[in-house]
């Protein structure tokens, strides 16, 4: 995810040690950009922006409850509730998608 490395130089959080190579930096899961002097060249990527969604595909549902769970109990557990179709979990986990 290249876009996670598009940070303003002043926002860079150091992720390496002085003199770290680009290869070592990237191997550590960090970003490397040596174009701006006086700021970290090896820096932490931006956190991924994610959101939770209730999957639309009924067959992709991962059960989060038990047969007969109420919508309220399901949502209290932090899960999705849809009382249809038959034969699939009605209380199921969110999917996390990247924005």
Q: Write down the pLDDT at residue 96.
A: 86
Residue 39 is classified by DSSP as: S
Residue 98 has pLDDT above 80, yes or no: no
Residue 90: HSE in the Cβ half-sphere, 13 Å Cα cutoff: 15
Q: Is residue 37 part of a domain?
A: yes
Number of domains in the chain: 2
78, part of any domain = yes
Instruction: Say yes or no: 32 and 60 in one domain.
Output: no
Q: What residue numbers bound the domain in which 76 lies?
A: 50-98
Q: In the prediction, which pLDDT does 2 show?
A: 59
Is residue 3 in some structural domain? no
**Same structural domain for residues 33 and 62?**
no
Per the model's pLDDT, the better-predicted residue between 86 and 48 turns out to be 86
Question: Does 54 share its domain with 94?
Answer: yes
Domain identity same for 61 and 90: yes
Check whether the bond before 85 is cis (ω within 30° of 0).
yes
65 and 82 housed in the same domain: yes
For 28-85, write each residue's pLDDT tens digit: 999 999 998 999 999 999 888 888 999 999 999 999 999 899 999 999 999 999 999 9
This prediction has a pTM of: 0.54
pLDDT of residue 18: 87
Handedness of CA 78, 80, 83, 88 (dihedral sign): negative
Q: Is the pLDDT of residue 94 over 90?
A: yes
């Amino acid at each position: 995810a290249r876009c996670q490395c598009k940070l303003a130089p002043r926002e860079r959080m150091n992720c390496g040690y002085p003199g770290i190579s680009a290869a070592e930096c990237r191997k550590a899961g960090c970003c490397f950009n040596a174009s701006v002097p006086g700021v970290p060249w090896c820096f932490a990527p931006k956190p991924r922006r994610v959101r939770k969604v209730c999957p639309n595909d009924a067959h992709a549902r991962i059960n989060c409850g038990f047969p007969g769970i109420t919508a309220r109990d399901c949502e209290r557990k932090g899960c999705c509730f849809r009382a249809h179709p038959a034969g699939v979990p009605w209380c199921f986990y969110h999917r996390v998608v990247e924005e």
